[in-house]
Chain A
Amino acid sequence: MSEHVSEAGESGSPYRDGERLSVVANALELSQVSKTFGGLRAVGGVTFNVPERSIFGLIGPNGAGKTTVFNLITGVYRPDTGTIRFHNQELSTLKPAQIARAGVARTFQNIRLFGQLTVLENVLVACENRRKAGLVSALLRSQRFRRDEAEMNQRALELLAIFELDKMADETSTSLSYGNQRRLEIARAMMLEPKILLLDEPAAGMNYGEAEGLKKQIRWLRDRFGLTVILVEHNMQVVMGVCEQIHVLDRGETIAHGTPEEVRKNPKVLAAYLGEEVDGEGAQASREEAAS
């Protein structure tokens, strides 16, 4: 695995400020991961490493297999071939709930909240696996159960306060606005106390200002909780602004990997789709360059 570490080092230090150690351990290592649905090769031999405490972008045009990679990491699908290692623990044989308990949290592209549950309850479900009091003490309403509940409530409300949702704790989650539902999903994922957070298109439907806010929030979450963040995103403003490394997929295959600057200039990426997304004449010029 040391080979992978040096590889990550070559593609530019994950930390632009250079204050931290140059050699960092990987939080997640995907090696030759493939998944086929019927005759469709959704993901074909994808390999990448995500350094610990980095913000890592996974981009590509529609149907590139980004969400499938997320589903493979979180165990929703099982890879046909390849290995997925998370802090030296093999994930590809585990069930989704086990992977979540190992410290992998995620949000969903098409928001998946527990609709009829309140905002607070949505977050509380995520600490169900840490609950010390069992079913019997819940039935007896024992001291331990009540202390457990109080602690969990407190923790959940703190998290909701971070996402400015604490005032709506008792509303059902379906009554929230779209943006708040997205934030609630992140809050729920954070309640799991994860080591790595997978965000699937968090900026979808956000305007310029909100996307700027999101960038700040992602960095802040990483620093505050010592997280590793993987981001699937179409919004280039967010991806280019916040990610330290970017991995580009097209039709299930890796076409590029590197820092935002490197990826931005990569002709293959531009050919695949990036050219129209990046504003400014530079991109326009380089696209023409790539085409010629």
Chain B
Amino acid sequence: MSPTLRRILIPLALVGAVVGLELGFETLVPDAAWRQLALFAMVNVVVALSLNVINGMAGQFSIGHAGFVGIGAYTAAIVAGHLHQALGGGDVTFASSFVVMPLALLAAGSIAAVFGLIVGLPSLRLKGDYLAIVTLGFAEIFRLVIATAQTGGQVEGPVAKFLAYLGGQNGYAGPDKTGVPQYAGPFWIFGAVVLAVLIAWRLKFSGWGRALRALREDEIATASVGVDPTRYKVTSFVIAATGAGIAGGLLASMRDGNPTVQPDQFTFAYSFDAITMVILGGSGSVSGAIVGGVFVTFTVKMIEQLQGLESVQSLMAVHPGLDLNALRMVVYASVLIGLMILRPEGLFGERELVRRKPVQRVPGGAEPLPVRTEAEVDAAKEGSAVPAGKASK
């Protein structure tokens, strides 16, 4: 296949696949719970891909990614809810999703990016673990501000009114409190995954991604070749936040999903899930983030399914303290510890499923460094030191 043909056929095939999923998803996966899970896994893939930019490629430890997902979710829910009303309410149609989703996702991504800049700019100037603490604090502040907001009764002031509008612990269910319109069907969610993979891939294999990976390896050396560490770290953090915001937007309006956006969806446990996805798959690997996102989502579901089994139910009747959801953390911890012992670099390490062909060109007209004379080579042999330069011959 010629490259030009491939450049046309591959995108066409992808668009076809995504549209096909939109039309045939319910026939393909008849069980609504599994559909929800599949879409949720795809959202998580976007979350993992975005977190991979800052944690995997840039090597900065952000542990509050759920905060950005949450900001995106609330933003998209508000935008989508109001747009839905403006369009006259009624049924959610595939056609009208082309008006609602781009705007909702754009808003979700932009607002998350702004928060990413606010959080990243001061903390990424500092070296070390400041980012971890600041991001953790940020995510918890975001969640608690919404969860503990005073709702009902009379609230004064624009900020308090806005927070009350978000519904506190009960969550936000659209402007008329009938649920956020679920515009994000398979087309949008799988489409977002395809785009996110493409963007993550191209970022990784661009000069920018190379500089980020260099930064992860050695910050001082990176600065010594003219790359400003702060600028690259902040940019990557904002990109990660944007991706998380868009994932949140998809989560809020996911078809077959929860029509209410609740603060409890964005606890530290979710941030931890996101980190697990990245590390499990392999820090810095795009393929790894995909595999990690899917694997972690389905593990959660498997544990829930286990809980429904009769044997487990009867066991729980005997031991009322048994809570498999709590066991999830034990399972994760065991998997992570096992992985750190057996494969410390994650399933993929930094590698990818598809090998990228190296760009090799035969250099013309380069004069090599002056070669050593025979006498010098002989002298080198006499020397007892390790002949370090030998391998180049």
Residue of A nearest to B232 (CB): A128
Q: Which of A87-146 contact B (CB under 8 A)?
A: 95-98, 100-101, 105-106, 108, 112-117, 120-122, 124-129, 131, 133, 135, 138-139, 141, 145
Check A158 for interface membership: any CB of B closer than 8 A: yes
Q: Which of B363-384 contact A (CB under 8 A)?
A: 363, 365-370, 372, 376-384
Q: Which of B197-230 contact A (CB under 8 A)?
A: 199, 202-203, 206-208, 210-211, 213-214, 216-218, 220-229
- Contact indicator B217/A207 (Cβ below 8 Å): no
Instruction: For the complex, give the distance between the alpha carbons of A113 and B387 in Å.
Output: 20
Q: Which of B78-100 contact A (CB under 8 A)?
A: none
- Contact indicator A149/B366 (Cβ below 8 Å): no
User: Which one, A3-11, A164-172, A276-284, is touching chain B?
Assistant: A164-172
- Contact indicator A116/B213 (Cβ below 8 Å): yes
Instruction: For the complex, give the distance between the alpha carbons of A131 and B208 in Å.
Output: 10
Q: A129-B226, A170-B358 are in contact. Are A145 and B383 (CB under 8 A)?
A: no
Instruction: For the complex, give the distance between the alpha carbons of A182 and B392 in Å.
Output: 12
Instruction: For the complex, give the distance between the alpha carbons of A140 and B378 in Å.
Output: 54
- Contact indicator B385/A124 (Cβ below 8 Å): no
- Contact indicator A128/B380 (Cβ below 8 Å): no
- Contact indicator B220/A150 (Cβ below 8 Å): no
With a cutoff of 8 Å between Cβ atoms, the chain B residues found around residue A138 in the complex are 202-203, 206-208
Instruction: For the complex, give the distance between the alpha carbons of A229 and B227 in Å.
Output: 22
Check A177 for interface membership: any CB of B closer than 8 A: yes
Main secondary structure of the interface of A (DSSP, over half): helix
With a cutoff of 8 Å between Cβ atoms, the chain B residues found around residue A152 in the complex are 207
Instruction: For the complex, give the distance between the alpha carbons of A97 and B233 in Å.
Output: 14
Instruction: For the complex, give the distance between the alpha carbons of A213 and B366 in Å.
Output: 19
- Contact indicator A213/B202 (Cβ below 8 Å): no
Q: A97-B227, A125-B210, A210-B388 are in contact. Are A157 and B203 (CB under 8 A)?
A: no
What is the minimal beta-carbon distance from A180 to any residue of chain B, in angstroms?
Answer: 6
Residue of A nearest to B235 (CB): A135
Instruction: For the complex, give the distance between the alpha carbons of A134 and B183 in Å.
Output: 34
Residue of B nearest to A163 (CB): B369
Check A76 for interface membership: any CB of B closer than 8 A: yes
Residue of A nearest to B202 (CB): A139
Q: A135-B208, A210-B387 are in contact. Are A164 and B392 (CB under 8 A)?
A: yes
Chain B: interface residue total (CB-CB under 8 A): 55
Check B158 for interface membership: any CB of A closer than 8 A: no
Check A36 for interface membership: any CB of B closer than 8 A: no
Contact of A205 among B199, B370, B386 (CB under 8 A): B386
What is the minimal beta-carbon distance from A78 to any residue of chain B, in angstroms?
Answer: 14
- Contact indicator A209/B210 (Cβ below 8 Å): no
- Contact indicator B363/A180 (Cβ below 8 Å): no
Check A161 for interface membership: any CB of B closer than 8 A: yes
What is the minimal beta-carbon distance from B145 to any residue of chain A, in angstroms?
Answer: 32
Instruction: For the complex, give the distance between the alpha carbons of A153 and B206 in Å.
Output: 12
Q: A95-B223, A100-B223, A117-B210 are in contact. Are A157 and B363 (CB under 8 A)?
A: yes
Contact of B389 among A120, A141, A159, A210 (CB under 8 A): A210
What is the minimal beta-carbon distance from B148 to any residue of chain A, in angstroms?
Answer: 39
What is the minimal beta-carbon distance from B227 to any residue of chain A, in angstroms?
Answer: 5
- Contact indicator A192/B388 (Cβ below 8 Å): no
User: Which one, A19-27, A183-191, A264-272, is touching chain B?
Assistant: A183-191
Chain A: interface residue total (CB-CB under 8 A): 76
Q: A128-B226, A141-B202 are in contact. Are A213 and B217 (CB under 8 A)?
A: no
Residue of B nearest to A131 (CB): B207
Check B391 for interface membership: any CB of A closer than 8 A: yes
What is the minimal beta-carbon distance from B330 to any residue of chain A, in angstroms?
Answer: 32
- Contact indicator B387/A125 (Cβ below 8 Å): no
Tell which of A120, A128, A205 has the most Cβ of chain B within 10 Å.
A128
Check B140 for interface membership: any CB of A closer than 8 A: no
With a cutoff of 8 Å between Cβ atoms, the chain A residues found around residue B22 in the complex are none
Check A154 for interface membership: any CB of B closer than 8 A: yes
- Contact indicator A108/B221 (Cβ below 8 Å): yes
Check B305 for interface membership: any CB of A closer than 8 A: no
- Contact indicator B350/A116 (Cβ below 8 Å): yes
Q: A150-B359, A209-B377 are in contact. Are A145 and B206 (CB under 8 A)?
A: yes
Instruction: For the complex, give the distance between the alpha carbons of A153 and B360 in Å.
Output: 8
Tell which of B210, B211, B226, B228 has the most Cβ of chain A within 10 Å.
B226
Instruction: For the complex, give the distance between the alpha carbons of A93 and B389 in Å.
Output: 38
What is the minimal beta-carbon distance from B254 to any residue of chain A, in angstroms?
Answer: 26
- Contact indicator A96/B213 (Cβ below 8 Å): no
With a cutoff of 8 Å between Cβ atoms, the chain A residues found around residue B211 in the complex are 125, 128
Contact of A97 among B229, B360, B383 (CB under 8 A): B229
What is the minimal beta-carbon distance from B359 to any residue of chain A, in angstroms?
Answer: 5
With a cutoff of 8 Å between Cβ atoms, the chain A residues found around residue B363 in the complex are 154, 157-158, 160-161, 166
With a cutoff of 8 Å between Cβ atoms, the chain B residues found around residue A124 in the complex are 207, 210
Q: A97-B227, A135-B208 are in contact. Are A213 and B221 (CB under 8 A)?
A: no
With a cutoff of 8 Å between Cβ atoms, the chain A residues found around residue B360 in the complex are 157, 169-170
- Contact indicator B203/A209 (Cβ below 8 Å): no
Instruction: For the complex, give the distance between the alpha carbons of A152 and B225 in Å.
Output: 15
Interface string of B345-362 (1 = CB under 8 A from A): 000001000000011110
With a cutoff of 8 Å between Cβ atoms, the chain A residues found around residue B372 in the complex are 209, 212-213, 216
Contact of A125 among B214, B359, B383, B385 (CB under 8 A): B214
Check B390 for interface membership: any CB of A closer than 8 A: yes
Q: A97-B227, A212-B379, A213-B389 are in contact. Are A114 and B213 (CB under 8 A)?
A: yes
With a cutoff of 8 Å between Cβ atoms, the chain A residues found around residue B213 in the complex are 114, 116-117, 121
What is the minimal beta-carbon distance from B323 to any residue of chain A, in angstroms?
Answer: 40
With a cutoff of 8 Å between Cβ atoms, the chain B residues found around residue A158 in the complex are 363, 365-366
Instruction: For the complex, give the distance between the alpha carbons of A162 and B360 in Å.
Output: 16
Q: Which of A190-238 contact B (CB under 8 A)?
A: 191-192, 205-210, 212-213, 216-217, 220-221, 224
**What would 21 A/B residue contacts be, using CB atoms closer than 8 Å?**
A95-B223, A105-B225, A117-B214, A120-B358, A124-B210, A125-B207, A125-B227, A141-B202, A158-B363, A159-B366, A160-B363, A169-B360, A177-B388, A179-B388, A189-B224, A208-B385, A209-B376, A210-B383, A212-B376, A220-B369, A221-B369
Which 4 pairs show the lowest CB-CB distances between chains A and B? A209-B380, A179-B388, A207-B383, A207-B385
